[in-house]
Amino acid sequence: MTSTGQDSTTNRQRRSRHNPHSPSHNSSVISKRGVKKGAVPRSSPSLAEVKKKGRMKKLSQAAEQDLIMGLQELDLNLEPKALSGTGLVFEEQLNEFHCLWDDSFPECPERLHAIKEQLTQEGLLDRCISFQARSAKKEELMLVHSLEYIDLMETTQYMNEAELRILAKTYDSVYLHPNSYTCACLASGSVLRLVDAVLGAKVRNGMAVIRPPGHHAQHNLMDGYCMFNHVAVAARYAQQKHDIQRVLIVDWDVHHGQGTQFTFDQDPSVLYFSIHRYEHGQFWPHLKASNWSATGFGRGQGYNINVPWNQVGMRDADYIAAFLRILLPVALEFQPQLVLVAAGYDALQGDPKGKMAATPAGFAQLTHMLMGLAGGKLILSLEGGYNYRSLAEGVSASLHTLLGDPCPMLESPGAPCLSARTSISCTLVALKPFWEVLMQSAETLEEDCVEKDKEEGPWEPPVPQIMAWPMLCARTGLVYDRRMMNHYNLWDNHHPEMPQRISRIMCHLEGLGLTERCLTLPARPATDAELLTCHSAEYIARLRATENMKTRELHREGANFDSIYICPSTFTCAQLATGAVCRLVEAVLAGEVLNGTAVVRPPGHHAEWDAACGFCFFNSVAVAARHAQAISGHALRILIVDWDIHHGNGTQHIFEDDPSVLYMSLHRYDHGTFFPMGNEGASSQIGQAPGVGFTVNVAWNGPRMGDPDYLAAWHRLVLPIAYEFNPELVLVSAGFDAAQGDPLGGCQVSPEGYAHLTHLLMGLANGRIILILEGGYNLTSISESMAACTRTLLGDPPPLLGPLRPPLSGALASISETVHVHRRYWRSLRIRKVEDKEEEPSNSELVTKKEPQPANPGSAKGMARPEENILEAGMGKATSASPVEESIPGQAKSEIATVELAKDKSLEVATGGAMLDQTTSEGPVGHTKLASCTDSQTPPSSPVQGTTPYIFPSNLIESLRTLDLSNKTQKAPDSQTPEEKLLGEAAGGQDLDDSKLMGFGDTDEATFYAVTPLPWCPHLTAVCPIPAAGLDVTQPCQDCGSLQENWVCLSCYQVCCGRYINAHMIQHHEDLGHPLVLSFVDLSTWCYHCQAYVHHQALLDVKNLAHQNKFGEDMPRPH
């Protein structure tokens, strides 16, 4: 661990841009030095020169004074001021409507009465900034709804009860009142009021406590208690009035918000995420469009996300897993500028409609996660919730979180159940083609290393949780002492672990006004009793003896350890650093502060039981953990997250047999060659009994790891395990040597990235989290990074991240390796790849139109109707459902397949009269061509319940009887290794089992195999122009000379053999990273990064040229 520790040129330039008057570290050091011995002194200026300078200064004084006055009027603080305050709209007038003919109707004024009582009791109304509701204007409602529909709703003000009842019966699960229209307009306007407040920088976030709900309302249709779609109108309003480009809508109501989905399912500017009860279509609204396979249409494909729950009793762990594995990664890639939440609370335990088992504390967690997006611009709009107590507590929990209160601990978080993991896996499969961050999102599960999941027993509701919100005098504690700078290297002034590390951090915190926002705590030395919990008495005495050693003896003693220097003040400074952290632990556990930051040195996580190591003497984090357990009186569950770029070998060894402390480290390993060297930091190091599974190492095997890689580890590994462990205290070994510009780490984590990592950890342990400085040797990087983390601890929203690249393949490999090792210990990691097995509807299930039917409005929504036909509306494209595709390269090719149309006449009607060309176009041998259908045309409107659904021509694949393959497909050789099966054909990929289609009809003869190519992939830009020499499909492999199963790279046009020969094309991809290759056998195109076949206009030229070369004629085109 040797380095000069100087700031990089890039960081010097960045610093000078932000503050041109502040010198770099190097210049500040030089300026403090005296004149060097032997330097030539400067000569004194002559009298004439002095007079000339005086005249110039006098002439410029007036201009200088003007400049000074102008600068005084400017705000030179370049740091953005964090918004504060939570807006609340609560309008009593919204209670002035109810069901005139059914007093027991669930959507009733008592819902808001219960909420107001709860918020008043907890003092939340006074803590929020109140905004008066306003009515949405017609032109605002017309952003989503038709004028004819709005006018019809307006006329309900003048109808009598009989007329209202007749009109209500033409819709599903609604009632009407003379005040319904006025209240619905007020409800929509309330959300718009908050949009203006949040985007106008008046408040940070907000909540609209409104009724009636809105997310079921469609373009020209009332549905499910809803008249106008409040969040949909708000999204369009934000785009139109505030020029917002990207909006995320999260719908956690237990019912699917089909109205919102249908509004945006062709729009890539709005990402819609819904997590809801589905039960295979048996739960209201009984739509196939509510399943995971509905991903959107056209340009909006991939921007519609459904996570369907297929059983009741889903708990907090299930919802949290869906957010971590799907929503947060996709949202960070989408980068929303505003987050709107359709906040229904009917998934809470006790709700008569939802029958789920989520808790208010769980919804606080979900709210907290969303606060890390869009710079904290978050608005919740009340939807459902029909158990008054649960509803009131759920709204209260979300509002507490919006106000910055810590999330309550989950009583029994556990891990997601098997049904939840299956739903999450299916959704990941459907979304994989559209989001780079999900390209390698689910690892295959090897049954021999994981105990098979036991089927969950009968669901038993948990004991209701009594939540307590801490009352704190201060939020964030800060501990620092200048005396810790007395530890320094006597022989090397440029050693990276220099005293200026902590002074520069503190100067930066003071300059940003962060220290005055914190409660400064006095540091104290650690006692011997505290040190003895993690270090031997002999070692402590040995280190204490260095206080009286001479310089030569100190040098000799330091050389006895690995990467250590010692000076006379070392023992005192190390003792003070450790004691400072213990003091901060005391303050957090006593409730003096919620969280804290320890700016201390020397660092500690390398220090062993009986040895100093890697700049570290006493293991401050370990001692603090033991101190926390001692003062709490029991084995407090403690999570230690170590994001220092070096593995914390000392911390790992101290706790490796202790299941009360979960140690998770993310570090550079480089196959054992990165400090501290050896295999201690390998993913295979998992602890010792009884602590097996409580040591988790993510071992990076190279440099350049950045925000996307660490966030991927957080979402896929760190947080799932952490929530399952459910810590009571979180300690972070916060080394910042993985930061951009660090001379030792070689990585690229930004201050904004560290802020997001901190924010996500703050949802744990009731917010009790302490950051302890470890490494970090670029003074600018550590100052900015610690400031970003401290600001987040203080409750400021994490800053926006810049455009994120996909996680590096090496990073994903490291994460997957650790996941593979720890699956047997943590059920939350058992998200498996599943086959795309969504059941095809029988012909009798296809319906042409669902006429409005009289219904009991109080009982239809939320009740299963198994005999009712399921509307086939809003289905995603074939890429996200059971697919049909080109043949698979490297296998025996089948004859041209014949397409057999469904014989049910309702198919033609259901598609609006669209006809399928029943002829097939003969293409290259082995290609299966469907009828020439195009999806370029835009449907007149999105499919809506109660109207004729429009189905894209490409979606007629869903209604095909099957592909009757005339020849059975030859299976891959039995000698294939597991590794080869995971690799696909060209790149390795699709095994036959992943391509199974259910056969229809009475036959039970064959299992059919087919796959649908992606219509687009993000790597098409890698296709380079065809060389002037053209293509030669008979060209041998450049590496082995094979003439069989060759592929051509579409980036460099080198020819290599496929995996069944010598796999040289796979090696070519791994060496150069070129994504797309073309088969000389059947002219199919494979993308390694997408792990899928691709067929796109950009590939037609090279395919046609290969076809001419192979067959002597142009490739047939669809008619």
Query: Torsions phi, psi of 174, nearest 5?
Result: -140, 160
Tokens coding 548? 């009286």
Q: Cβ distance 1076 to 1022 under 8 Å? A: yes
> Dihedral sign, CA of 945, 951, 955, 958?
positive
Preceding peptide of 690 cis, ω within 30°? yes
Three-class DSSP category at 593: coil
Clarify whether 400 is annotated catalytic.
Answer: no
Measuring CA to CA, how many Å separate 470 from each of 127, 138, 359, 505, 768? Answer: 15, 44, 18, 30, 11
Measured between alpha carbons, how far is 487 from 501 in angstroms, rounded to an integer? Answer: 12
Q: Reduced to 3 states, what is the DSSP secondary structure of residue 608? A: strand
Tokens at residue 16, please?
């000078």
Whether the CB-CB separation of 1037 and 1057 falls below 8 Å is answered with yes
Given the residues 25, 145, 216, 230, select the one marked as catalytic. 216
Give residue for tokens 């997310």.
215
What is the amino acid identity at position 826? W
User: Residue 904 and residue 920: Cα distance in Å, rounded?
Assistant: 21
* Residue 797: cis peptide before it, omega within 30 degrees of 0: no
- Give the pairing type, strands 270-277 and 247-251: parallel
Query: In the block, which residue shows the tokens 């049910």?
Result: 904
Query: DSSP letters along 70-132, please?
Result: HHHTS----SPPPP--EEEEE-GGGGS---SS-TT-SSSTHHHHHHHHHHHHTTHHHHSEE--
- Quick one: DSSP state of residue 24? P
What is the Cβ-side half-sphere exposure of residue 96, based on CA atoms within 13 angstroms?
14
Report the alpha-carbon distance of residue 433 to residue 439 in Å, rounded.
7
Q: What is the CA radius of gyration of the chain?
A: 32
- For residue 204, give the nearest of 128, 136, 269, 270 by alpha carbon: 128
Query: In what helix (H) or strand (E) does residue 27 lie, and over which residues does it extend?
Result: helix 25-32
In this structure, are residues 410 and 361 in contact, taking their beta carbons and an 8 Å threshold?
yes
CB-CB contact of 404 with 788 (8 Å) = no
Distances (CA, A) of 365 to 399, 420, 452, 767, 1117: 12, 18, 29, 11, 53
Which distant-in-sequence residues (6+ apart) come within 8 Å of 426 by Cβ? 292, 293, 834, 836, 838
**DSSP secondary structure letter of residue 647:** -
- φ, ψ dihedrals at 1085, nearest 5°: -120, 130
Instruction: Report residue 526 as tokens.
Output: 């650690």
Q: How far is CA 187 from CA 90, 211, 380, 799, 877, in A?
A: 10, 6, 12, 31, 35
The residue among 878, 864, 1086 whose CA lies nearest residue 963 is 878
Buried b or exposed e, range 969-980, using 16+ CB within 10 angstroms: beebeeeeeeeb
Q: For residue 54, what are the contacts with CB-CB under 8 A and spacing of at least 6?
A: none
Residues paired with residue 307 on neighbouring β-strands, in sequence order? 275
Task: Mark whether 242 is an active-site residue.
Answer: no
Query: Which amino acid appears at position 1032 of this protein?
Result: D
Helices 537-544/570-589 angle, 10° precision: 130
Which of 256, 606, 647, 1074 is catalytic? The answer is 606
Residue 847 host element (H or E): none
Write out the H or E segment, with its range, that includes residue 729. Answer: strand 729-734
Residues catalogued as catalytic: 216, 606
